[in-house]
Amino acid sequence: MDSVEKTAKTLEEALKLALNELGVAEENVDYVVLEQGVKGILGFGSKPFKIKVTKKFDPVSICKNFLREIFICMGIIVEFDIKEKERHIDILLKGSEMGVLIGKRGQTLDSLQYLVNLAVNKGNAPYVSVTLDAENYRERRKETLENLAHNLAKIVKVTRKEVSLEPMNPYERRIIHSSLQNDRFVSTFSQGQEPFRYVVISPKERGKKVQQA
């Protein structure tokens, strides 16, 4: 629940009722007066206040609360190192069971990242992108994929035959494309449907053009 409407004899009472229902402090909400209250005389002619109270958009808090609930259900303790800049949030997860959160080839980490992005962007607020990382996995994976791309490109140059990589997510496919985009002798393109879409490295003479992931 992001907003509520409340009616009470005074503005303060209406605001208190709304804050209790939303479960937030006053500094975390905005409100507008829908109907101005009137005290009246000896109880006659009085009119209650009606206000609409809306939670302020706080993507960092949304991320923290969402992840905490997940980790409580998983029964693991995780710390957060969060950096926010220009509608983007980087979250570094720290703890003793990061291998569980990373998963095979980062699949669990990617799934968590996808869910957090959905949670943050479910309303009408401006879009915010969120990146999750643990134990510097993203950078290590990037280096691994770049090395893989260059090694397979060498094979393609020697054999003059295309090489197909395993299915990858869009982020990892872009790493392969970017690594070889300036290579004069090979080109890359993607084939297949999600989630089984994969990159193909081909001799450039075959006329293949670089395609986006």
pLDDT tens digits, one per residue of 124-133:
778 899 999 9
Please report, rounded to a whole number, the percentage of residues in the chain having pLDDT higher than 90.
57
Please give the average per-residue pLDDT across 100-108, as a whole number: 89
Secondary structure (3-state) at 44: strand
The DSSP 8-state label assigned to residue 205 in this structure reads: G
Cis peptide before 195 (omega within 30 of 0): yes
Integer Rg of the chain from CA: 26
Domain spans of the chain? 3-55, 59-135, 139-206
pLDDT value of position 1? 61
CA distances from 20 to 30, 51, 181 (A): 14, 14, 56
Q: For domain 139-206, say whether CATH 3.90.550.40 is its number.
A: no
- 104, pLDDT greater than 90: no
Q: Which CATH entry fits the domain spanning 59-135: 3.40.50.620, 3.30.300.20, 3.40.1350.10, 3.50.50.60? A: 3.30.300.20
What the block records as the tokens of 202 is 């081909």
- Residue 213 reports pLDDT greater than 70: no
pLDDT average, residue stretch 160-166: 95
Tell me: the pLDDT tens digits for 134-145? 999 999 999 999
How far is the C-alpha of 152 from the C-alpha of 203, rounded, in Å? 11
DSSP string, 109-155: HHHHHHHHHHHHTSSSSPP-EEEEEETTHHHHHHHHHHHHHHHHHHH
User: What confidence category does residue 92 fall into, taking pLDDT thresholds of 50, 70 and 90?
Assistant: very high
Residue 20 belongs to what H/E stretch?
helix 11-22
